[in-house]
């Protein structure tokens, strides 16, 4: 799990949580059975107190430290509040529900900025602890001594079957209501309980596994190792999860437990070796501390894999300290009742106070002048808010949903392209209003408006051709006007993206990609011109790639001015974007298309900056803000006004 979070190439590393649930079910059931055999009952007070002392004090310290880090390193425009609410959820055994309602899916982008995301699994585990001992006690009370486990087997089998069915329903691709989705989803205890039940069944069978002997134990261990390691490589974020694929890591972990119970195999001895036991003893602390360090490192040094790895390694230090001076002393110390009560109150109340203070402070931090500018810069453009960036061809949005100034009598303005087209939408709409011209917008955030095939790391983008060719068909019958084309140059500059005239001749050679793109654009411009349209090519905006910029990340107390207030000269830009600029300039000269030079309007005396006069020009490293888009409006008016 830690290696997956650190970004190492272990696509299914997140299945470590599922393995953990199996082991947890095994350990807790074995412990409860020993207590029942010794005392004839489960002493619930002792059980829950042991769980509290084992888990909660270390968690409370991590929550407090993480919330302080969130105040310093995260934006008050949402991430700080999310961290605070997640911290409260973690302390009250509900982090999974809070995360599902605030952060969203485990593999969604917002999850990367929640430094307490990983506490969802701890809450699920503790929810099991609340219910499972009670069910076991009822089962053992129902049975006579000789058949005591019958009802336990029955209860656990029912839980296993129902829970696995829930996991299957949640992974079959069917759309459900938000409430049903929360019951079936990634964070739900109902879709994970069967994993806990597998470990519990193995523990109940216990010593009977020895009947397998050394040979059976060895086979079980080998199969378990194969299944576990295969799950790391065969399962990925694209796998419907939890679901049938979860059987692989769960059964693999179960087989490892069975192999260890059956006989003392070589692999069992390796797993019980001193170094692995040392890591295992501290695994809880390592798990608690690693993710906040990763999130803060990724925030301070975006796209810096080395920084994340170093942060992950450094997190072992507070993890060791937590184990040494918090976990072990509290677990092993004998408390008087007053001292125990004070410890419990301090453990619970301190994180609550920290979270409440952060929730109270975040709006004030967001209300500063600079924060308000960055808040505005971080907003999505109108094409996205109106749902006009879904990759549908021009003219296919029903009911005039993506037409602005629809009653205007002038010639239409048509905006096409990828997300860079959407980024100029506000300025173009304002210009259309001033010129009495309607503005039609059809953007495809994942595809440029160029009639070529694309693939990223071998995965072909099938929808791009439909968007481009469908839009070109629209212009055969549409009223002539001005067609504005805006694309990012990354499609033909990025070495991981291949282009070609079809799927069969894809190439990632930069020279070939530029030549193919220029030829395809030239043909499209001439076709649009033949339909009676004026064509405008928008120069790709000056990008900030060496030191990435993000408006959301700049609204922090310790945000780096170096990354949030950057400048670039034309000379610097030509090194990274010169080939693309020259191609678009050449296309304008070759076809007679007009050329809207964003550099001219965003840069002064050959120097470009992330900051405008009273606004931030950028939303992120490659996209302008709404403020900059509106700043283009007077230039668009002059540019599009036809001679009288």
Whether residue 291 is found in the same domain as residue 413: no
Q: Which range marks the domain in which residue 139 is found?
A: 2-366
- In whole angstroms, how far apart are CA 59 and each of 17, 84, 158, 318, 519? 17, 14, 32, 12, 59
Does residue 119 sit within a domain?
yes
User: Alpha-carbon distance 564 to 200, whole Å?
Assistant: 52
Whether residue 424 is found in the same domain as residue 307: no
Q: Rounded to the nearest 10 degrees, what angle do helices 119-142 and 193-205 cross at?
A: 50
Name the phi and psi angles at 496, rounded to 5. -85, -10
- In whole angstroms, how far apart are CA 300 and each of 5, 77, 175, 305, 547? 17, 17, 37, 12, 11
Average pLDDT, the chain: 87
Give the end of a domain, one of 312, 342, 366. 366
Per-residue pLDDT, 6: 59
What mean pLDDT is predicted for residues 328-355? 92
Whether residue 598 is found in the same domain as residue 636: yes
pLDDT per position as a tens digit, 281-295: 888 999 999 999 999
pLDDT per position as a tens digit, 441-464: 999 988 899 988 877 766 677 668
Beta bridge partners of 85: none
What mean pLDDT is predicted for residues 145-174? 83
| Lowest-confidence region among 161-165, 547-551, 612-616 | 547-551
Q: Quick check: 145 pLDDT over 60?
A: no
Does residue 315 sit within a domain?
yes
Q: Quick check: 348 pLDDT over 60?
A: yes
The model's pTM: 0.74
Pick from 252, 204, 249: nearest CA to 231:
249
pLDDT per position as a tens digit, 24-51: 999 999 999 999 888 888 999 999 999 9
CA 245 to chain centre: 21
We report the CATH number of the domain holding residue 633 as 3.40.50.1110
Does residue 171 sit within a domain?
yes
425: its two tokens? 């939408």
Q: Quick check: 339 pLDDT over 80?
A: yes
pLDDT per position as a tens digit, 191-233: 999 999 999 999 999 878 888 888 888 899 999 999 998 998 8
Q: Write out the DSSP string of 138-201.
A: HHHHHS-GGGHHHHHHHHHHHHHHHHHHHHHHHHS-----HHHHHHHSTT-STTTHHHHHHHHH
Q: Quick check: 431 pLDDT over 70?
A: yes
Per-residue pLDDT, 134: 93
pLDDT per position as a tens digit, 92-132: 999 999 998 888 777 776 678 899 999 999 999 999 999 99
Cα–Cα–Cα angle for 448, 453, 456, rounded to 5 degrees: 80
Whether residue 362 is found in the same domain as residue 381: no
Q: Quick check: 188 pLDDT over 60?
A: yes
Greater model confidence, 643 or 124: 124
Q: Quick check: 563 pLDDT over 70?
A: no
Give the end of a domain, one of 313, 334, 366. 366
- In whole angstroms, how far apart are CA 476 and each of 13, 96, 388, 391, 471? 51, 53, 21, 19, 9
- In whole angstroms, how far apart are CA 423 and each of 355, 406, 598? 36, 20, 12
pLDDT per position as a tens digit, 487-536: 988 778 877 888 888 777 888 888 898 899 999 999 999 999 999 999 99
Whether residue 313 is found in the same domain as residue 443: no
Whether residue 360 is found in the same domain as residue 404: no
Strands 594-596 and 482-486: unpaired
Give the HSE-up count for residue 169: Cα atoms under 13 Å, Cβ half-sphere.
18
Does residue 102 sit within a domain?
yes
Whether residue 565 is found in the same domain as residue 585: yes
User: Alpha-carbon distance 422 to 534, whole Å?
Assistant: 20
Does residue 195 sit within a domain?
yes
Q: Quick check: 8 pLDDT over 70?
A: no
Does residue 285 sit within a domain?
yes
Pick from 483, 591, 471, 498: nearest CA to 538:
483
User: Alpha-carbon distance 88 to 198, whole Å?
Assistant: 30
Give the end of a domain, one of 366, 399, 421. 366
Whether residue 381 is found in the same domain as residue 478: yes
Does residue 372 sit within a domain?
no
Q: How many domains does the chain contain in total?
A: 2
Does residue 371 sit within a domain?
no
Whether residue 383 is found in the same domain as residue 306: no
Pick from 45, 92, 51: nearest CA to 349:
92
Whether residue 121 is found in the same domain as residue 21: yes
Whether residue 158 is found in the same domain as residue 22: yes
Per-residue pLDDT, 176: 62
Whether residue 498 is found in the same domain as residue 452: yes
């Amino acid at each position: 799990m830690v290696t997956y979070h650190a970004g190492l190439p272990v696509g299914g590393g997140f299945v470590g949580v599922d393995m953990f649930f199996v082991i947890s079910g095994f350990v807790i059931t074995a412990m409860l059975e020993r207590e029942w055999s010794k005392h004839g009952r489960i002493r619930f007070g002792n059980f829950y107190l042991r769980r509290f002392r084992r888990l909660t004090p270390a968690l409370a310290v991590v929550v407090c430290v993480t919330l302080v880090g969130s105040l310093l390193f995260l934006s008050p425009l949402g991430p700080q509040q999310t961290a605070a609410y997640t911290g409260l959820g973690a302390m009250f055994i509900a982090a999974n529900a809070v995360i599902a309602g605030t952060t969203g899916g485990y593999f969604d982008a917002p999850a990367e900025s929640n430094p307490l995301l990983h506490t969802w699994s701890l809450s699920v585990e503790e929810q099991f602890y609340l219910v499972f001992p009670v069910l076991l006690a009822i089962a053992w009370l129902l049975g006579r001594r000789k058949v005591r486990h019958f009802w336990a087997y029955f209860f656990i089998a029912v839980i296993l079957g129902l829970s696995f069915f829930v996991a299957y329903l949640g992974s079959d691709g069917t759309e459900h209501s938000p409430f049903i989705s929360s019951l079936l989803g990634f964070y739900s205890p109902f879709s994970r309980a069967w994993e806990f039940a597998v470990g519990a069944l193995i523990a109940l069978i216990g010593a009977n596994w020895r009947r397998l002997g050394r040979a059976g134990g060895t086979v079980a261990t080998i199969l378990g190792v194969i299944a576990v390691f295969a799950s790391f490589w065969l399962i990925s974020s694209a796998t419907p999860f939890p679901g049938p694929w979860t059987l692989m890591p769960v059964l693999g972990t179960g087989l490892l437990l069975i192999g260890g119970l059956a006989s003392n195999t070589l692999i069992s001895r390796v797993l019980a070796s001193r170094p692995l036991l040392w890591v295992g003893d501290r695994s809880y602390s390592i798990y608690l501390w690693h993710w906040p360090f990763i999130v803060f490192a990724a925030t301070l040094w975006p796209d810096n894999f080395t920084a994340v790895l170093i942060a992950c390694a450094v997190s072992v230090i507070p993890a060791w300290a937590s184990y040494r001076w918090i976990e072990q002393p509290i677990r092993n110390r004998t408390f008087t009742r007053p001292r125990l009560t004070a410890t419990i109150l301090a453990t619970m109340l301190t994180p609550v106070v920290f979270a409440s203070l952060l929730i109270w402070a975040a709006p004030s931090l967001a209300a500063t002048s600079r924060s308000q500018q960055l808040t505005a810069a971080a907003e999505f453009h109108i094409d996205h808010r109106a749902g006009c960036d879904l990759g549908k061809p021009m003219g296919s949005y029903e009911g005039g949903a993506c037409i602005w100034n629809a009653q205007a009598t002038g010639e239409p303005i048509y905006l096409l392209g990828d997300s860079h087209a959407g980024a100029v939408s506000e300025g173009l709409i304002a210009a259309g209003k001033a010129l009495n011209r309607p503005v039609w917008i059809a953007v495809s955030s994942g595809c440029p408006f160029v009639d070529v095939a694309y693939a990223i790391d071998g995965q072909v983008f099938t929808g791009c051709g439909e968007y481009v060719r469908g839009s070109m068909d629209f212009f055969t019958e549409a009223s002539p006007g001005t067609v504005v084309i805006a694309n990012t140059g990354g499609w033909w500059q990025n070495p991981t993206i291949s282009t070609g005239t079809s799927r069969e001749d894809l190439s990632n050679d930069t020279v070939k990609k530029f030549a193919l793109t220029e030829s395809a654009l030239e043909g499209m411009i001439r076709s649009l011109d033949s339909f009676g349209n004026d064509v405008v090519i928008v120069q790709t905006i000056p990008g900030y790639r060496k030191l990435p910029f993000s408006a959301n990340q700049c609204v922090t107390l310790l945000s780096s001015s170096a990354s949030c207030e950057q400048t670039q000269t034309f000379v610097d830009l030509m090194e990274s974007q010169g080939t693309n600029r020259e191609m678009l300039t050449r296309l304008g000269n070759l076809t007679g298309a007009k050329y809207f030079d964003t550099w001219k309007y965003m840069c002064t005396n050959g120097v470009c900056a992330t900051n405008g006069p009273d606004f931030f020009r950028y939303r992120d490293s490659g996209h302008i803000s709404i403020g900059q888009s509106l700043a283009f409006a007077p230039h668009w008016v002059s540019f599009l006004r036809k001679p009288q």
